[in-house]
Structure 1
Amino acid sequence: MTSKGLIVTGLLFGFLECVLSQSLKVSLPGGLSEKIQGVALGGWLVLEPYITPSLFTVFENATATNTTENVPVDEYTYCQVLGKDECASRLETHWSTFYNETDFQQIKQMGLNLVRIPVGYWAFALLSGDPYVQGQEKYLDQAIEWSRQNDLKVWIDLHGVPGSQNGFDNSGKRGGVDWLKNRTYISTTYGVLDYIFGKYGQANYSDTIVGIELVNEPLGPLLNMTEVENIYYNSYQSAKAKYHVQDTIVLQDAFQWIGYWDSFLSNETSPAVMIDHHHYEVFTVDQLKASIGVHVSNINSFGNSIVQHLANHSAVVGEWSAALTDCVRWLNGVNMGARYDGTFQNDEVIGTCDNITDWKKWTKDQKRHTREFVEVQLDAYNQTSGWIFWCWKTEDTIEWDFKRLVALDLMPQPLSARKYTMDGVISGGLKLGLGWKVYCFMGLLLGLTIGF
């Protein structure tokens, strides 16, 4: 074979390896024969003010000055203000009405195959002095049954632990990050996980439950990561040795870099470990100032980075959204404004948050860029073990509501349909971001040019 023939042959093999590395090195969790394409049931069994603001605005309307000063900021203060009896009454109404079987039927009809269900520790155990109320477990069980009936898989997500693992309102208690500061908090976490493994990790659920996430979003930069790793390790061993759990054990990345967990639990004979990465483009001023082209580049880089580490553990993008601003009321928390319009922490003004929930007043650019942003993420995250959109529905948002995005033609149906992108590239110019197939092809083209 001539030297040029060798070059061409080598480049062709390189091109095939590049493509195959993106399409075949994708491990899937036990119980799944296809990549995860799911939604989270946010704001249901763990309250989030921006998802169901009506539960919180009733406090605002009850004050003489009509301000948010006395509005609870999370589920902890919600029950604290109301007292257990009234809190239980209101939450029972919320739990029994916000989701029903029709949601699960629609989730299946829209091409999705999994639901991630957040639940707080207080659904299973209460600490002395906790204002929380219980009753969520009944609805978790009902959701699992609805999922089974509609051929959906379930991923149970321990979204809040004692003392809060991140200080976010979605952990149940906003403010301090005190989870690892109290041995009772840690032992209670172990106890709750033990209960979850003992009930939901057993054979009678194995046809539906495919994953159990140990802790959602531990804020690694503010935590002792050695302790976090110990809790992950000990919980994994307990699940496998004590309860023989066959479900995948999901480790949220704790805001560490992609690849941080590559060697963690990698020597187990049956690891069944999945890494859960979350990605949003709206929680820094620089992200909010970015053009759609920069957003596309960011997404492709993020997705490609995950793909490079799939040989170590399966990995998903377990939270993402269609949001290009942080304008939704209370997204950053009750009494917190938005970075986008400068009301969060006296940030510079990037733009206006007016009409963010009024579809009729969205501009053509807003609509197009949102759809482009969604399509690019679908392409990028489909190269991993899968993705889970946050979340299925909200009371009044657009960008965080899968169901509403579909209705407004901002989320493709079927999920493979594309208006503006192909393989991570927006039509009209490669400068707006390169998908993995484009990278592979351009590498081949460059090599052929040099070779000849």
Structure 2
Amino acid sequence: IAAGASLAIVITIIVAAVVVSKKSSSSGCTNDLTCNLDSISSSSIPAGAPDYLNPFTWYDTIDFNLTYTDAMVGDLPIMGLNSTWDDSNAPNSIVPALNEDWGSYASRPARGVNLGGWLSIEPFIAPDLFDYDDSLGIIDEYTLCTYLGATACSSTLEKHYSSFVTESTFAEIADAGLDHVRIPYSYWAVQTYDDDPYLFRTSWRYLLRAIEWARKYGLRVNLDLHALPGSQNGWNHSGRQGPIGWFNGTNSTQNVQRSIDVHDRLSKFFAQPRYENIITHYGLVNEPRMTFIAASEVINWTTTVYSMLRENGLPNKTIVVFGDGFRGLDAWQGELTGYGDGLALDVHQYVIFNNEQIVYNHSEKVTYACAGWTEQTERSMNTSTGFGPTMVAEWSQADTDCATYLNNVGWGNRWTGTYNTGNSSDPLEALTPRCPTTDSSCSCTSANNDPSTYSDDYKQFLLYFAQAQMDSFETGWGWWYWTWWTTEGSYQWSYKRGLEAGILPAKAYDRNFHCNSTTIPEWYPALPETY
């Protein structure tokens, strides 16, 4: 009771501190990202205010409230927010508005998309950020910012934050018939530690603005903490490629506590009433690699953090999401019980990162999406055979792993047999071609081409493959495509580019392929299996 009373007092004070202001207006700022600074005086910002509270240091001030406040919730700034919000919007006519009850996700699954590569950058999504000589070893956000230094890292990444996702992104997502958006972000939006080279807290305000834009278009938000202190998987999208320092290594205890501290602050912030209708999913950690981390330790951590989130006021209707950790869905049967619909299992489904599945031909890939993944999802949804509430927060229609930098900078790909992890015992390594013919005819040329060059057969396959996955994942709690946008190439990883190419349904809820009623064609030999 005391904690709840304190939270209520804090929220009341803070709401009073945030002035409803026309100073956030973006009217007339189409070509000038900071023209609304003209509405305030630099003298309104106290001398010595940190950059994250001083809009005169920001690259982009569009749609931010520029009235100065140093008020915090969970020791996180509310600077930039208005004190009022409107939850009356819906993304389309077939789902409820934000201020209306969604109902059961088992009955009305989510249809969403990720904003991957934005606040947690990834080389394959934004390869232009990593266009350096290989000898420099720039392979992730850590090495990029180390090389650039603080000033250049700041200017480079804030330009990326400003341009990669804009208000029109959310309008287009809603127009595509989608109703949820998953936003990956990293721990340095909240805090940096020791010698971290990461850009501190700048991404925080872009995250807050994105939530408000999602609200404007009636899109519900899945918050995805994509990078934890120490790295939870050792992959580039955790910030630093290499050793796993979360639950592993000499600093593991410190990194685990830091991850709890980050969630403590985040949950206090997002317990505010303004977020109770729009943040429907709260992700604990993206892709913890439980093939290298003890599952029992991650399960105990999950229990601890879940309790803390609820004690901090995160609404019971906000679904807490944990990752399957690559254990296999059946392994979660009987684990983390007693949470009802308040806790959901997240699995990421791809055929291309598995040496046994990437070799499927086109027809087999669609068949597997319909039969294999549907069976897995249904088993997982049943608590006698699986965990229970299950969602697929990442998938794509890509049928090769040919996209530049997809498998880390310089690591090659499975499709042509050039995927060298540097560890000959790694089951993921592929030094012989893994396209369906498994020979030297395997090529990435066609797969990486612009969709305007795709044959009608290939376009039909990609459309069917995507819709088969949508069908399958809707037997669970829904899906989020990975991802909305890529800056160059990687066409089969961009929902926006897929829409433009006609290889995704114009409306996610209106599809012409259904697993239980559409015959899956045999595309070969009209469609080569080698590209």
Which TM-score tier does this pair reach, normalised by the shorter chain? 0.7 to 0.9
The 1:344/1:425 distance shift into structure 2, 3 A limit, reads farther
Residue 347, structure 1, aligned to residue 431, structure 2? yes
Residue 380, structure 1, aligned to residue 472, structure 2? yes
Report deviation, 1:297. Answer: 3.2
Tell me, what secondary structure is at the counterpart of 1:186?
helix
* Structure 1 segment 251-400 matched on structure 2, within 5 A: 251-268=322-339, 272-299=342-369, 300-312=371-383, 313-345=388-420, 347-349=431-433, 350=435, 351-355=442-446, 356-396=448-488, 397-400=490-493
- CA distance in 2: counterparts of 1:310 and 1:431, whole angstroms: 33
Residue 46, structure 1, aligned to residue 120, structure 2? yes
- CA distance in 1: counterparts of 2:396 and 2:341, whole angstroms: 29
- CA distance in 1: counterparts of 2:230 and 2:355, whole angstroms: 29
- CA distance in 2: counterparts of 1:431 and 1:307, whole angstroms: 28
Report deviation, 1:416. Answer: 4.0
Query: Do the aligned residues in 2 keep the contact of 1:49 with 1:333 (CA within 8 Å)?
Result: yes
Paired letter, 1:156: L
Look up the match of 1:203. 273
Paired letter, 1:359: P
Residue 111, structure 1, aligned to residue 177, structure 2? yes
The superposition leaves residues 373-404 of structure 1 with CA deviations (integer Å, 9 ceiling, x where unpaired) of: 11211111111110000001111221100011
Aligned residues: 393
Query: Do the aligned residues in 1 keep the contact of 2:391 with 2:473 (CA within 8 Å)?
Result: yes
Look up the match of 2:191. 125
- Between 1 and 2, higher relative CO (CA 8 Å, sep ≥ 6) is seen in 1
- CA distance in 2: counterparts of 1:41 and 1:117, whole angstroms: 5
Tell me, what secondary structure is at the counterpart of 2:155?
helix
The superposition leaves residues 292-327 of structure 1 with CA deviations (integer Å, 9 ceiling, x where unpaired) of: 232123222222222233244321111000110000
Look up the match of 1:26. none
Tell me, what secondary structure is at the counterpart of 1:371?
helix
Query: Do the aligned residues in 2 keep the contact of 1:248 with 1:272 (CA within 8 Å)?
Result: yes
Tell me, what secondary structure is at the counterpart of 1:353?
coil
Residue 69, structure 1, aligned to residue 143, structure 2? no
Paired letter, 2:120: V
Query: Do the aligned residues in 2 keep the contact of 1:157 with 1:212 (CA within 8 Å)?
Result: yes
Paired letter, 1:341: T
The share of aligned pairs that are identical, in percent, is 31
* Structure 1 segment 161-172 matched on structure 2, within 5 A: 161-172=228-239
The structure where helix makes up a greater share of residues is: 1
Report deviation, 1:82. Answer: 0.6
The superposition leaves residues 112-156 of structure 1 with CA deviations (integer Å, 9 ceiling, x where unpaired) of: 111101111111111101111121100000010001111000011
Paired letter, 2:485: K
Tell me, what secondary structure is at the counterpart of 2:329?
coil
Unaligned runs of 5+ in 2: 1-99, 421-429, 436-441, 525-531
TM-score (normalised: structure 1): 0.83
Query: Do the aligned residues in 1 keep the contact of 2:223 with 2:281 (CA within 8 Å)?
Result: yes
The superposition leaves residues 18-60 of structure 1 with CA deviations (integer Å, 9 ceiling, x where unpaired) of: xxxxxxxxxxxx9633321000000000010110111111x23
Paired letter, 2:366: V
Paired letter, 1:110: A
The 1:112/1:235 distance shift into structure 2, 3 A limit, reads same
TM-score (normalised: structure 2): 0.71
The 1:284/1:314 distance shift into structure 2, 3 A limit, reads closer
The 1:221/1:425 distance shift into structure 2, 3 A limit, reads farther
The 1:38/1:70 distance shift into structure 2, 3 A limit, reads same
Tell me, what secondary structure is at the counterpart of 1:235?
helix
- CA distance in 2: counterparts of 1:368 and 1:98, whole angstroms: 29
Paired letter, 1:76: Y
Tell me, what secondary structure is at the counterpart of 2:392?
strand
Report deviation, 1:430. Answer: 10
Tell me, what secondary structure is at the counterpart of 2:356?
helix
Query: Do the aligned residues in 2 keep the contact of 1:52 with 1:394 (CA within 8 Å)?
Result: yes
Residue 219, structure 1, aligned to residue 312, structure 2? no
- CA distance in 2: counterparts of 1:284 and 1:410, whole angstroms: 23
Query: Do the aligned residues in 1 keep the contact of 2:401 with 2:415 (CA within 8 Å)?
Result: yes
Report deviation, 1:72. Answer: 1.2
The superposition leaves residues 225-276 of structure 1 with CA deviations (integer Å, 9 ceiling, x where unpaired) of: 11100111000011112334331100111112213334333224x6511111
Look up the match of 2:80. none
- CA distance in 2: counterparts of 1:108 and 1:428, whole angstroms: 29
Report deviation, 1:426. Answer: 4.8
Report deviation, 1:195. Answer: 1.0
Look up the match of 2:253. 183
Report deviation, 1:365. Answer: 3.5
The 1:372/1:429 distance shift into structure 2, 3 A limit, reads closer
Further displaced range: 330-339 or 195-204: 195-204
> Which 4+ residue blocks in structure 1 deviate beyond 6 angstroms?
429-432
Residue 401, structure 1, aligned to residue 491, structure 2? no
- CA distance in 1: counterparts of 2:136 and 2:523, whole angstroms: 49
Paired letter, 1:91: L
Report deviation, 1:360. Answer: 3.4
Look up the match of 1:154. 221
- CA distance in 1: counterparts of 2:516 and 2:130, whole angstroms: 39
- CA distance in 2: counterparts of 1:296 and 1:90, whole angstroms: 40
The 1:367/1:227 distance shift into structure 2, 3 A limit, reads same
Look up the match of 1:412. 505
The 1:411/1:271 distance shift into structure 2, 3 A limit, reads closer
Unaligned runs of 5+ in 1: 1-29, 61-67, 433-452
Report deviation, 1:105. Answer: 0.6
Tell me, what secondary structure is at the counterpart of 2:191?
coil
The superposition leaves residues 154-180 of structure 1 with CA deviations (integer Å, 9 ceiling, x where unpaired) of: 011110111111111111111111211
Query: Do the aligned residues in 2 keep the contact of 1:56 with 1:71 (CA within 8 Å)?
Result: no
Query: Do the aligned residues in 2 keep the contact of 1:296 with 1:424 (CA within 8 Å)?
Result: no
Query: Do the aligned residues in 1 keep the contact of 2:481 with 2:495 (CA within 8 Å)?
Result: yes
- CA distance in 1: counterparts of 2:382 and 2:272, whole angstroms: 28
Further displaced range: 166-175 or 407-416: 407-416
The superposition leaves residues 346-378 of structure 1 with CA deviations (integer Å, 9 ceiling, x where unpaired) of: 622331111413223333433222112112111
Tell me, what secondary structure is at the counterpart of 2:327?
coil
The superposition leaves residues 74-96 of structure 1 with CA deviations (integer Å, 9 ceiling, x where unpaired) of: 11111011111110111111111
Report deviation, 1:429. Answer: 6.3
Tell me, what secondary structure is at the counterpart of 1:328?
coil
Query: Do the aligned residues in 1 keep the contact of 2:268 with 2:314 (CA within 8 Å)?
Result: no
